Amino acid sequence: MIRAAIIGLGTWGQHLVRCAEGAKHIRFTAAATRTPAKAADFAASRGLRMLESYEAALADPEIDAVVLATPHTQHTDQIVAAAAAGKPVFTEKPLGVNAADARRAAEACAKAGVTLAVGYNWRFQPALQRIKALVEDGTLGRILHMEGNFCGPSAYRFPKGHWRHDRNEGPAGGMTGRGVHVVDAMLSLAGPIEQATAQSFRLVQDFGMDDTTSMLFRFRSGATGYLGTLIATAETWRLQVFGSNGWAEVGDVEHLPTWQLRLCLIDRNDIGKKQRPQVITFEDTSTERAELDHFAEAVQAKRPLALPDGDGVHNVAVLEAIMASIASGGPVKVS
């Protein structure tokens, strides 16, 4: 059993602690946060030792790994520090806010031989895993195009001055909080993105991040993609994958529960027939518990997860290209 410290006990940090209860390979035993008084009752209710700092967690011999639920711009330096201390580290997305920092973090862990994982919990959704299988076995045919969105009222949830309104913490509007999940799902299905074209605006409030952001992608495979993320509207999310034999779609209002999958395939014997989609359901699963257990199993096996040339770093390179495209108004190659 991996004994982990949660770093950051805000809403999401507390959610991860709750989700890990009942996990097979990991349990949270300690915590460090910027405002201990706000989290004291929660920590006591979960039996967490409150530590005075992140550095104290890294130095504690009774902590086997650290889990970061901290602001985005802190991730890289915290990961590098964990690598120097020999502590495996799971970080919430993104790995960094620019590609150089993300690569530096991944390289530090690779050089130190410690496991690094990035919190893209969508990959543990049975429906997305089924779509990937349908791509790999040829059922969907060649991927031609993907469309996604991930939207909600995030801009209204936090007051002026909150870090989630900081443009350095959340470049490209809802991309760092929401859109990167869709990008990661697309990468898992279609491989690397070659080019991004983006636009982003703040249309609702007179402070904070942009609330309306949209992107066009070109994948190295030749496939195309679209992604929209709005943070001043009602909750919705969707990912639809179009193949040469049909399409598969997931989407709803809540994104954390177990998804359903809609699958619609061409009838090659009657091309003109308009097929009704098949609805496929799956056994309930906690994707957060699954990703934390996956990380813990890798730690126990001393197996790497996020690598310098992997999707976690490439996702940040895509985000960087999106920001460059917003600034230039034109398409940008992903480095």
Q: What is the pLDDT of residues 251-308, one digit of tens each?
A: 999 999 999 999 999 998 998 888 999 999 999 999 999 999 999 999 999 999 999 9
| Interatomic CA distance for residues 193 and 187, integer angstroms | 7
pLDDT one-digit tens code per residue, 128-162: 999 999 999 999 999 999 999 999 999 999 888 88
pLDDT one-digit tens code per residue, 69-111: 999 899 999 999 999 999 999 999 999 889 999 999 999 999 9
| Interatomic CA distance for residues 115 and 219, integer angstroms | 29
Q: How far is CA 20 from CA 23, 26, 230, in A?
A: 5, 7, 30
Look at residue 165 and tell me whether its pLDDT is greater than 90: no
Q: Which of 120, 140, 101 is nearest to 316 (CA)?
A: 101
| Interatomic CA distance for residues 177 and 163, integer angstroms | 12
Contact between 230 and 148 under an 8 Å Cβ cutoff? The reply is no
Contact between 183 and 221 under an 8 Å Cβ cutoff? The reply is no
* 78-84, Cβ contacts within 8 angstroms, sequence gap of 24 or more: 78/7, 78/54, 79/105, 79/108, 79/109, 79/116, 80/104, 80/105, 80/108, 81/54, 81/55, 82/58, 82/109, 82/114, 83/108, 83/109, 83/111, 83/112, 83/114, 83/116, 84/108, 84/112
